Amino acid sequence: MLKRKEFILGAAVGLTFAAAATAGGIIDWPAAGAQEQRAELRSGLVPAATAGAVLFQPPPGAPNSFADIIDQVSPAVVQIDVTTRVPRPSVRGFPNIPGLPFPFSVPQQPQGEDGEEPMMEGAGSGSGFFISADGYIVTNNHVVANASEITVRLTDDRELTARIVGRDELTDLAVLKVDGGTFPFVQFETQAQPRVGDWVVALGNPFGLGGSATAGIVSARGRDIGDQYVDFIQIDAPINRGNSGGPTFDIYGRVIGVNTAIFSPTGVSVGIGFAIPADVAQRVTQQLMQGGSIERGYLGVQISTLTPDMREALGLDEGVTGAFVGDVTPGGPAAAAGLRAEDVITEMNGQAVRNNTDLTRRVGQARAGDTLRLTVLREGRRVQVNVRAGVRPPEDELNNPTPGQQNGTAERPAAAGVVVEGLRVAPMSAALRQQYGIDPQINGLVILGVEAGSRTARIPFEPGMVIQSADRRPVTTVDELRAAVQRVRQAGRPSILLFVRTGQGNTPVVLPLEGDEE
């Protein structure tokens, strides 16, 4: 589980810092002769007194201590304490604040007369760092997203009130501003890209303890942990609750990343942390400082990666990559340009599209009004579609579920339907449309259930979902679905691609073919 929330009021913790000894020089083994010693100096390998084992001399550049680096950069690192308003528990008792090993007592208050959810004050803690002498601070968006009050504590114990300059939810970055003089600051390193195995030092405020340092190496690059716009640096320097928003330094004291998340089954460091790369952080924070928000290009499509199973179901060559269009937003840029649901976008501006994340990031980098040349596969043909990019709407607007679709909430209809490949389906009717709250614009076969024990039962179909097409052809009757299945069988394909309308929008589903149907 990826842990990001950093709500800390205080905890007693035991810390252990283990580092390999890196004393310079060669071990002088008593049994080694002069000739062996000269070879050791040349190779850096030292024979051990036991059978065949060798010890490695620390390579050039491995520091004996990180103290000089930390002395240099730590004044620019700050502790960030936030006050938030969170929903009060509806039952009498005491809430358990995340990060505390014990319940925290807060008196219970009745619900307001206006029916609004009762609220209470909570506290959170994170990290940040100055990137300019005049008081601009970088941190994570999730550290300050719901803050009603933000206090920044400096290494000289000064406490300053901060205000939010801008936030970007999609990269989890935020910029704060404090006043009060000239501040020590650090800079992003965007040219010298870190390599796997390079030393790193992470500074921050773990568990609300205040300024702390950990060290390790870059353990991987280009990690995708579900964020649309960031390929993360993975580090093994311990990162814990409260480190979010703090900097990751190289051994020259340059910021190579912003600590953001950990992978942990326990909620504490297990040696896998993730940092936003410096080039992404610098680009986003500069835009936030200039305008307070980030504008990204927008197509108006719901897409998913073209998986090997989908390629097989569509009869495409193994090397084809791209993004499958599940839905097109009415009135959006893609709809105006003629892009259709079930198109497969294989190229953008002449460059191959690897997957849905690749397309999303490249579209996001476009400016409103830019023309995006898309090559799509449509019913076995290559089609060119030119889309004029729009401005991506706010995330809360995009994340609203499709209205009118109430899958799984209604009782099974009286009509038994017909079983095709383990799916019990029925043609659309006014009664089914009303029962499941299906939008008037949606047509197809309504799924009534799944036959127990069938291969189809492994797929999370729900009553009220609508099969709009099968094998890229519209289906409105059971016979049309059966014909599509027969067509796929005759082509020698083991599965069929269904285009299914769910409560969250259109979804491509690869359905493995079974034996003879009922």
Catalytic residues: 142, 172, 244
CA–CA distances in Å: residue 387 to residues 71, 114, 205, 322, 505: 52, 47, 46, 17, 22
- In 331-347, which positions are buried (b, 16+ CB within 10 angstroms) versus exposed (e)? ebbbbebebebbbbbbb
Phi, psi of 15 (to 5 degrees): -115, 140
Task: List the alpha helices (DSSP H) in 97-171.
Answer: 141-144
Residue labelled with tokens 């909570």: 122
Name the residue with tokens 């036991």.
50
- The amino acid occupying position 460 is P
* Residue 141: C-alpha distances to residues 104, 126, 281, 351, 426 (Å): 25, 10, 12, 32, 47
- The DSSP symbol for 412 reads P
Q: Which residues pair with 274 in a beta bridge?
A: 234, 261
| 3-state secondary structure (DSSP) of residue 1 | coil
390: amino acid identity, one letter = G
Other beta carbons within 10 angstroms of residue 405's beta carbon come to 20
Residue type, 348: M
Angle (nearest 5°) at CA 199 between 195 and 200: 100
DSSP letters for 480-502:
HHHHHHHHHHHTT-SEEEEEEEE
Tell me 76's DSSP state: G
Tell me how crowded residue 212 is: count the other CB atoms within 10 A of its CB.
22
Name the burial class of residue 182, with classes exposed (0-12), middle (13-18) and buried (19+) by CB atoms within 10 angstroms of its CB.
exposed
* DSSP H helix total and E strand total for the chain: 10, 31
CB 506 within 8 A of CB 301: no
Coil, strand or helix: which one is 207?
helix
> With 0-12 CB in 10 A as exposed, 13-18 as middle and 19+ as buried, what is 404?
middle
Alpha-carbon gap, residue 243 to 211, rounded angstroms: 10
DSSP character string of 360-388: HHHHHHSPTT-EEEEEEEETTEEEEEEEE
C-alpha 241: how far from its chain's center? Answer: 18
Nearest to 297, CA basis, from 399, 391, 169, 395: 391
